[in-house]
Amino acid sequence: MNPIAVKVDNVTRTFGGLHALDGVSLEVPLGQRRALIGPNGAGKTTLFNCIAGSLSPSSGRIFLFEKEVTQLAEYQRTALGIGRTYQITNVFHQLSVLENVLIAEQGTKRQKWILYRPLEKFKSKIDLAIEKLSSLGLDHRRDHFVHQLSYGERRQLEIVLALSSDPRVLLLDEPASGLSPAERQRIGEIILKLKRDITVIFIEHDMDVALGIADQVTVLHQGKIILEAPPDVVRSNSEVREVYFGES
């Protein structure tokens, strides 16, 4: 059995009188592709933020590779191996694609403190950045400004940036949101091709995308887990259909 990459232990998060998360517990083994699905307001992004460290649980604990990280700041969790994307694209639009990747590459490395040396002087970093862009099909766009990219290409770039810190756990917040069917398929293929030494946890509203990628699916509703099962079980579950489509 693979070791547990991420463990959430009885986590609750309240906002005033609202229980965004209510006693959520889950374990994600190393290398698994875990989808978090549920209707709007189910608590998916709140759970993401608690795992990443941008939110602290009101109660409960978070573990990363058996190390408790509940009290660690977001940047400390990044150093331990968490990378993430966001629901809204978060890139430098007035810089080139390659410059975005180089900045991300430097951000978690000791070279970021070398302030007197231009980025273009780090040839090994440039080669590595181009290699990562190539692996996700963006090398032909490396010299274009980000604002010249299509929305789908920006989503691909965000994944490249998240991978630049060499994460062991990758959190993807709605990677296919707002994309055309062809772009959604492309993002799905990219996620499926990621190395299995990276654990991927992702939020996705498109059921076809989510169930086509995931090894295991966690279904959230009103801050609680109502089902945790493989995609084929989730697809045929009557409670999930009721939550998503109002079917009884």
**Segment 85-92 mean pLDDT:** 72
pLDDT of residue 108: 60
Average model confidence (pLDDT) across the chain = 87
The answer to whether 70 touches 61, Cβ cutoff 8 Å, is: yes
pLDDT digits (tens, 9 = 90+) for 124-145: 778 888 888 887 788 888 889 9
Out of 60-74, 202-216, 232-246, pick the least confident. 232-246
**Segment 206-212 mean pLDDT:** 88
**Segment 54-71 mean pLDDT:** 96
Top mean-pLDDT range of 33-42, 98-107, 146-155, 180-189: 33-42
Answering whether pTM is above 0.85, one says: yes
Specify the DSSP class assigned to residue 103. H
Beta partners for residue 224, in sequence order: 221
| Residue 220 parent element (H or E) | strand 216-221
CATH number assigned to the domain with residue range 1-81+167-248, chosen from the 4 options 3.40.50.1000, 3.10.50.40, 3.40.50.300, 2.160.10.10: 3.40.50.300
Higher per-residue pLDDT: 103 or 11: 11
Domain boundaries, the chain: 1-81+167-248, 89-166
Higher per-residue pLDDT: 11 or 85: 11
pLDDT of residue 113: 44
pLDDT of residue 107: 61
Choose among 23, 45, 55, 32: nearest CA to 204: 45
pLDDT of residue 88: 59
